[in-house]
Amino acid sequence: MHMETLAWYLPVVTPDGATLRMHWGTTAVSVQVSVDMPRVVTLPDDERPRYVGTYASKITPMNGGAPYDVDFVIRDDDGTLKIKSLKRNIFGAELAMVPVVDGRFHVAYTEVGTFKGRYFTEPGMIFAFQVADGHAQTLEMYGYDQTVVGRGSLVK
C-alpha cells in the first residue's frame, strides 16, 4: 500500500519487545526491538522476616460496599514473600510480594501464568508497611488511584 508521508508504527507489541515498522511510499521496513524481562525482585535474607506474620485488616471497597475484615498472612517461601487472605479470599490464590521501595510492595499473581518466567504484577494493589522495633507493625493497602482501601495491624 502507498503511504504519502513517512509513518512509524508498532503493529505488534509484546511484553518483551515490539515490531517497529517504518513506511514511506511503497517501501516498508520492519525492525524487531527486544527488551530483557526484569527479574522478580526479592528482599535480602535479613529483611524478609520483618514482614512475616498475620495482619488483621479492614477493607473499605471503592464501589461503596460495606467495609469487611480480612486477615493477611505473609510468609517467607524460600526467599520470596507470599501473601494470602483469610476469612475472605480476596485474591483467589496466594500471591508473591514484589518489593518496590521502603516497605512498599506490589503483589504478583503466581497462578495466572508467567511470561518467560515472570509473574504478572498487579500495579494497582500496593501494600505499604510501617516498621518499628525491627518488624512491620501496621499496613495500608492502596488501590489504583492511590486511595487507601485497607488498613491493618500485626496480630502475630
pLDDT 10s digits, 24-35: 999 999 999 987
Neighbours of 144 (CB within 10 A): 12
Percent of the residues in the chain that have a pLDDT greater than 70, as a whole number: 88
Query: Among the ranges 4-8, 38-42, 146-150, which has the highest mean pLDDT value?
Result: 4-8
C-alpha cell at 110: 503466581
Cβ-contact 24, 3 below 8 angstroms: yes
pLDDT, mean of residues 80-96: 88
Quote the CA–CA distance of 144 and 156 in Å, as a whole number: 29
**Topology of 48-154 in CATH?**
Lipocalin (2.40.128)
Quote the CA–CA distance of 78 and 149 in Å, as a whole number: 30
pLDDT 10s digits, 103-151: 999 888 776 655 555 666 766 789 999 999 999 999 999 987 888 989 9
Q: What value does the CA radius of gyration of the chain take, rounded to a whole number of Å?
A: 21
Residues forming CATH 2.40.128.50 domain(s) in the chain: 48-154
Cβ-contact 29, 57 below 8 angstroms: no
